[in-house]
Structure 1
């Protein structure tokens, strides 16, 4: 009998807390070998390479280092994010530039570095988007703009990479309980979001979930309802 097949390999960014940590744990439970790429090391996982996601060139080099001995990559989950807020009139150059670098340019550089191994495995890319990409809000210009642009990156990847067997899913969630002290009944748990990532990655190879729009199961009463909404667009 031949040697047993190696477990599938996943690379997850931003996996040292919150949603990313839950995704990492769920994928390990699913049987993946998980490698991480974070700003700071995980307290409970071996990930010796860290990187400043505000430096996209460094992200590409770090990804190559993390995957240097990998024969293939079955799943890439791009989760690292920055959420600097500010009105158009007030957002600082530093906050704007950081949002573009972390939320948009770094994911592209990461995908570019991983694509040869993803093609070899006919693997899957999951880009973590946000409702902010299609539902802009005051004070969120940098976050909303970069998440909207990431949606276009996902669409182009869908058109370009399926011919190579690589599928892309944009997961666009609403409010998540990303912090341990957040117990809101109107947000999703990080474990629930991780389950959806797992589900998206396990779909049959002749299908792809291009975008998953994920909302909390319960809805709080909005501040403006009914016909009055028309005055607040």
Structure 2
């Protein structure tokens, strides 16, 4: 039986790696795109996918997207996120609000929209979080707050949906070699070396493991780190 997955962040990094893995094995994809232009780009890469246009930075655009999906869904995987580093004394309101909106509010709204489909498929909701959701460091207050909130969202959803057979998992990757990580290095004033970090494919394969667990089993939380310690990480 063909499986169906709803993904955010499929345009790059972990989301792109995961979308390729799922499409490569013949699963159906429902991909979120922030604009018609972005949807056209994703359609060229994943021509069989269903594209839903909604901007995570404007969660109101997610209202009603659940009605655009027909039938059961095996997973909803929240990958998309934004980050802007700044100490609290220089943190701009717009940066704070954007990170909370994209990283926390939008996943909550999208999950609500897709829950009837996930319940019908007795599927899994996966929140791709961050090590920053477990420990907050200097200059990471807004991002860490959004990811800590995402952890709480997952915990509450897990308790609420167990009776419906819905599994909820949070994946906490440490630094991963993605365009977002390259941006972070620029903000930190550090040279970027992708070989030092987790690969997007390693994180994608972990998500697949979580999604593919046998019925009756679940992994609520999983943390990923590179095998070797990374100096200065």
Contact 2:133 2:145 in 1 (8 A): yes
Partner of 2:185: none
Q: What SS does the aligned partner of 1:188 have? A: coil
Q: CA shift at 1:148, angstroms?
A: 0.6
Distance (whole Å) between structure 1 residues aligned to residue 164 and residue 51 of structure 2:
31
Q: What SS does the aligned partner of 2:83 have? A: coil
Q: CA shift at 1:221, angstroms?
A: 2.3
Q: CA shift at 1:38, angstroms?
A: 2.3
Distance (whole Å) between structure 2 residues aligned to residue 15 and residue 115 of structure 1:
20
Partner of 1:231: none
Distance (whole Å) between structure 2 residues aligned to residue 55 and residue 221 of structure 1:
38
Residues 36-185 of structure 1 aligned to structure 2 (within 5 Å): 36-39=31-34, 40-41=38-39, 42=42, 43-46=44-47, 48-61=51-64, 63-64=65-66, 66-67=68-69, 70-179=70-179, 183-185=193-195
Richer in helix (by share):
2
1:180-219 residue CA offsets vs partner (Å, 9 max, x unmatched): 9865332011111110011111111111100011111222
1:4-34 residue CA offsets vs partner (Å, 9 max, x unmatched): x4x1110100101111100111112233111
Distance (whole Å) between structure 2 residues aligned to residue 96 and residue 221 of structure 1:
29
Contact 2:5 2:73 in 1 (8 A): yes
Distance (whole Å) between structure 1 residues aligned to residue 120 and residue 97 of structure 2:
34
Contact 1:185 1:218 in 2 (8 A): no
- Which shows bigger deviation, 19-28 or 30-39? 30-39
Question: 1:12 and 2:1 equivalent?
Answer: no
Q: What SS does the aligned partner of 1:176 have? A: coil
Equivalent position to 2:211, from 188, 201, 213: 201
5+ residue gaps, structure 1: 224-233
Contact 1:35 1:66 in 2 (8 A): no
Contact 2:7 2:76 in 1 (8 A): yes
TM-score where L is the length of structure 1: 0.86
Contact 1:200 1:209 in 2 (8 A): yes
Distance (whole Å) between structure 2 residues aligned to residue 117 and residue 11 of structure 1:
10
Distance (whole Å) between structure 2 residues aligned to residue 101 and residue 9 of structure 1:
26
Question: 1:191 and 2:194 equivalent?
Answer: no
1:69-99 residue CA offsets vs partner (Å, 9 max, x unmatched): x211111101111112211111111111111
Aligned residues: 215
1:129-178 residue CA offsets vs partner (Å, 9 max, x unmatched): 00001121111111000101100111111111011000011001001011
Q: What SS does the aligned partner of 2:89 have? A: coil
